[in-house]
């Protein structure tokens, strides 16, 4: 079972000529509403590849129309939503601007996500076949507890260190490394995490190697057009290239990678194949707008043909 514990949002997306800087206003002709939240994104990405009934989502939404829509959408994508709890706070909302090159800037109003609790997941659901997927858009202590429970049950923990908190401390990173099997991050997040615990890494590959060795885990860095790199605690280095594409919208590409990676781990494929499938899935997502709407189904991924 793939258990995703994390955020659920509604995304309001505007296409703009350029992403505005401080004090600047740009006009967009309209906006679109999409389903988002890193947790929900990763759950959908995993379910579209692993298949219906293989993914359970745990998190919180408000008692509002956005919450109704978010749950309905997850179910439509084959995600089990029995663990999603209604909170008094409003459903999380993300405000996204996308420029003509497909790059994005995102502001998130967390809402109900900040009330997510590890207690929402019954202890009996944790087992050796559990692949837990975590991010940084819900309270850290609650995500850590889900990771601890998974580890105690001999399950597998995938932690996507994104977004990096402004208040990330050395203790937080150390605690995270202690309950994680696969740490997934981008180049900047790798350097930030290494620096937080006093590792003077020269580049993101060195940072990944340092984090893998320090945490006795596998560290995977996504590097856009350069593909993905995996460093194990023993020093093994694996690389998967990224398909050459012209992106339409990169929103959700990282989450697609994480979800695809979780799906592959749940099928016990090799780390190399998991990297290759995840890179292809992330690239395919970039060809379509919207965080979840553009995520590929299993049949679209040539690596799985």
Q: Which residues are annotated as a binding site for K(+)?
A: 249, 251, 285, 288, 290
Kindly tell me the sign of the dihedral angle through the C-alpha atoms of 149, 151, 155, 160: positive
Q: Which of 64, 99, 192, 255 is catalytic?
A: 255
Binding residues for ATP: 186, 222-227, 254-255
Dist CA 252 CA 177 (whole Å): 24
Strand 182-186 and strand 92-98: the pairing is: unpaired
Strand 2-5 and strand 131-134: the pairing is: parallel
Spell 217-248 as b/e; 16+ CB within 10 A means b. bbbbbbbbeebbbbbbeeeeebebebbeeebe
Binding residues for substrate: 9-11, 37-41, 137, 255
Which strand (E) or helix (H) includes residue 109?
A: strand 104-109
Q: What are phi and psi of 52, to 5 degrees?
A: -60, 140
Tokens of 4: 């995703």
| DSSP-assigned letters across all residues of 203-269 | SHHHHHHHHHHHHTSEEEEE-GGG-EEEE-TT--EEEEPPPP---S--TTHHHHHHHHHHHHHHTT-
Residue 166: Cβ-neighbour burial (10 angstroms; 0-12, 13-18, 19+): exposed
Is there a catalytic annotation at residue 120?
no
Which residues form the catalytic set?
255
């Amino acid at each position: 079972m793939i258990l995703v514990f994390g955020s659920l949002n509604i995304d309001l997306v505007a296409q703009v000529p350029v992403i505005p800087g401080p004090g600047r206003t740009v006009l967009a002709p309209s906006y679109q509403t999409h389903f988002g939240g890193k947790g929900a994104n990763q759950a959908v990405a995993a379910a579209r590849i692993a298949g219906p009934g293989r993914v359970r989502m745990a998190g919180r939404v408000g008692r509002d129309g956005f919450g109704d829509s978010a749950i309905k959408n997850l179910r439509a994508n084959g995600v089990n939503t029995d663990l999603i709890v209604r909170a008094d706070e409003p459903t999380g909302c993300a405000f996204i601007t996308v420029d003509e090159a497909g790059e994005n800037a995102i502001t998130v109003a967390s809402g109900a996500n900040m009330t997510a609790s590890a207690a929402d997941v019954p202890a009996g659901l944790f087992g050796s076949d559990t692949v837990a997927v975590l991010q940084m858009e819900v309270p850290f202590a609650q995500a850590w507890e889900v990771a601890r429970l998974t580890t105690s049950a001999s399950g597998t923990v995938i932690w996507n260190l994104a977004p990096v908190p402004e208040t990330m401390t050395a203790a937080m990173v150390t605690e995270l490394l202690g309950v994680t099997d696969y740490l997934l991050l981008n180049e900047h997040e790798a350097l930030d995490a290494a620096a937080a615990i006093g590792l003077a890494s020269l580049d993101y590959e060195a940072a990944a190697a340092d984090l893998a060795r320090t945490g006795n885990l596998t560290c995977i860095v996504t590097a856009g057009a350069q593909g993905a790199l995996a460093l194990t605690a023993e020093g093994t280095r694996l690389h998967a290239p990224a398909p050459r594409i012209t992106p339409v919208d990169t929103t959700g590409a990282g989450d697609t990678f994480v979800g695809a990676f979780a799906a592959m781990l749940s099928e016990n494929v090799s780390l190399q194949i998991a990297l290759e499938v995840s890179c292809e899935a992330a690239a395919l997502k970039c060809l379509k707008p919207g965080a979840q709407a553009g995520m590929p189904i299993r049949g679209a991924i040539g690596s799985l043909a």
